[in-house]
Chain A
Amino acid sequence: MSENNEAAVETAKSPGPGTDALVVAENVHKSFGRLQVLKGIDLEVRRGEVMCVVGPSGSGKSTFLRCINHLEKLTAGRLWFNGELMGFRQKRGRLYELRDQEIAAQRSDIGMVFQRFNLFPHLTALGNVIEAPIQVNKVPRAQATARGSELLERVGLPDKADVHPEQLSGGQQQRVAIARALAMEPSLMLFDEPTSALDPELVGEVLDVMRDLARGGMTMVVVTHEMGFAREVGDSLVFMDDGTVVESGPPADVLSDPQHERTQAFLSKVLF
């Protein structure tokens, strides 16, 4: 897989208009120094699709997710979001890195939810939600506040608007984090193990919010260990191991009838 990355750099083809792919990853590689984390990922996420990415830790799932919104810079390959190359501009066969401002603009259309929530501790729940709409999209404060309250209600926290993150439980913090990401009206939501840092009894409330979101037609890429959620909500399931996509397909098929040996070994440990 990694041999043809030079060829991928040369080809300037981009997913043509009219395709319903929101994210196209083509031979995506990522190395940290000499450590190769992604060894050629080819994936497409269609509009409205909920894709769950599973795999053992260290398999590169989170790194791939972070490549989608350019928190990590690819070392080879291409990644398109909404028909635009993420993080680069291609001109006459050459790649140009985008400026900070331009990357920020691209990212503003992609919401991300982190394993450790990463709420802004100096702002209230509502403050967290309205910060980016006001600062980035220049939404008037009153309008942002109204929309923010609406979002907090949607994630089941209408009474927590004026509370600081430290006074919220993990599940509540993660729901505020989802509301914060939704406030930017993104076309795509990325979830990086959103329930892994939660106490078991708090996992359900976060998954409920995500389930609602999926039902509403949001395009989502979810890195998760929640196989039940993947089976029930996911449109597709991707199993990654050692920086490559080992197997993908409809969740029910992959989970109940894994074709690859490594998938079988992994699932036998997760499901019992």
Chain B
Amino acid sequence: MSTPTEPAEGPAPENPRPSRPAEPITAVPVRYPERWVAAGVVLVLAAMFVHMLFTNDAFNWPFMWDNMFSEPVVRGVGVTLSATVLSMVIGILLGIVLAVMRLSGNPVLVTVAWMYTWFFRGVPRLVLAVLFGNLAILYATIQIGLPFDNYWMPLLGLEGEARFFEIDVRTALSGYMAGLLALSLSEGAYMAEIIRAGLQSVDKGQTEAAQALGMNRGKILRRITLPQAMRVVIPPTGNETIAMLKDTALLAYVPVTIELFYQLQAIGTSTYQIFPMLVAACLWYLAITSVLMIGQYFIERRFNPEQRGARIRTAGGAH
């Protein structure tokens, strides 16, 4: 190809010149004395804080330590964890349904989903928790049957009621169930927004390519759009889970007597050792959220676009 008179040209452009010896730079680095000052101030403040922890009797560490792992408290931790998991699972499923409704293009479903989100995002969780705890005031029993039967049955000349079974609200919606319902319905509204954002983040070309292949709407959602939305949905869902764990403390006001915060407060008020038990609550919640944050770190890393590669095949396994 090239003429033999120019052997140096062309074939090796990556190393045009040989490396020449060079003297390494030895300069005095910039000093930051203010960092040492800041460190000193923080150290003093930290020492004061630790000193207080040991000298202020209100902490009553031995009492806290004895009661922090008492049986009702540990059971309370279990209740907190189960409430977190259940309300997140229900919330996510509800969120998927609401997000799909919101994007369905069906005006009735869009409006219903919008109203739902408006209500459950607008009312504070604490208020919802107390409200659901008092639902028995509104309905003593819930009966499942045909609607407005007391009006149309007599018109048709029929006796009795078209009701199939009934639930006693006071037993069914007692404490835990009422609280769980409040938390998961509320979570559904937040998850709906997160999942909607995730679905909308998927490029329109993906849907078109799937449509062109003859896939119907349901299959496109399940096989193409939702799996890709996961990447966007997972980090905020981790945050929601951590927030939910903390919000289970609201169950104490339903009231759910077996719940962690309720138990710790109960011990505190009955023994007049309120502060140690509040510290115990802080430590318990910190411990569990720390574990969740570690889990979140690994899950996010797994769904990180750069690390996706062969690993994110969430939809690939099930057919």
**Residues of chain A having any CB pair with chain B under 8 Å:** 69, 71, 100-101, 104-112, 114, 116, 118-124, 127, 131-132, 134-136, 141, 162, 164, 166-167, 177, 180-181, 184, 190
Contacts and interface: CB of A to CB of B under 8 A. Distances in A.
A45 to B, nearest CB: 17
Interface stretch (B1-9, B46-54, B204-212, B264-272): B204-212
A132 B227 CA distance: 16
7 contacts: A100-B216, A118-B205, A122-B227, A122-B315, A127-B316, A131-B213, A135-B215
A243 B206 CA distance: 27
B309 A164 contact: yes
Max chain B Cβ within 10 angstroms of own Cβ: one of A112, A118, A127, A184: A118
A184 B131 CA distance: 55
A108 B213 contact: yes
A164 B212 contact: no
A116 B209 CA distance: 10
Contacts of A100: 216-217
Contact of B223 (A109, A118, A124, A131): A131
Contacts of B319: 134, 141
B184 interface: no
Given A118-B206, A122-B312, A122-B313, A112 B227 contact: no
Contacts of A135: 215, 219, 223
A107 B315 contact: no
A162 B310 contact: yes
Nearest to A135: B219
A175 to B, nearest CB: 15
B202 to A, nearest CB: 10
Nearest to A109: B214
Contacts of B100: none
A208 B60 CA distance: 81
Contacts of B205: 114, 116, 118
Given A107-B212, A114-B208, 8 more contacts: A71-B211, A109-B214, A114-B209, A118-B205, A123-B313, A123-B316, A124-B310, A136-B215
A121 B209 contact: no
Contacts of A109: 214
A243 B314 CA distance: 44
A21 B38 CA distance: 82
Nearest to B316: A127
Contacts of B312: 122
A71 B208 contact: yes
A136 B310 contact: no
Nearest to B208: A71
B301 interface: no
Contacts of A177: 209
Contact of A120 (B224, B309, B314): B224
Contacts of A108: 213-214
A105 B214 contact: yes
A129 to B, nearest CB: 10
Nearest to A127: B316
Interface string B295-319: 0000000000000111011111001
Interface in B205-256: 205-206, 208-217, 219, 223-224, 227-228
Contacts of A180: 213
B310 A184 contact: no
Nearest to B204: A118
A106 B214 CA distance: 7
Contacts of B316: 123, 127
A109 B212 CA distance: 9
Nearest to A131: B223
Contacts of B224: 120
Contacts of A131: 213, 223
Contacts of B213: 107-108, 111, 131-132, 136, 180-181, 184
B219 A136 contact: yes
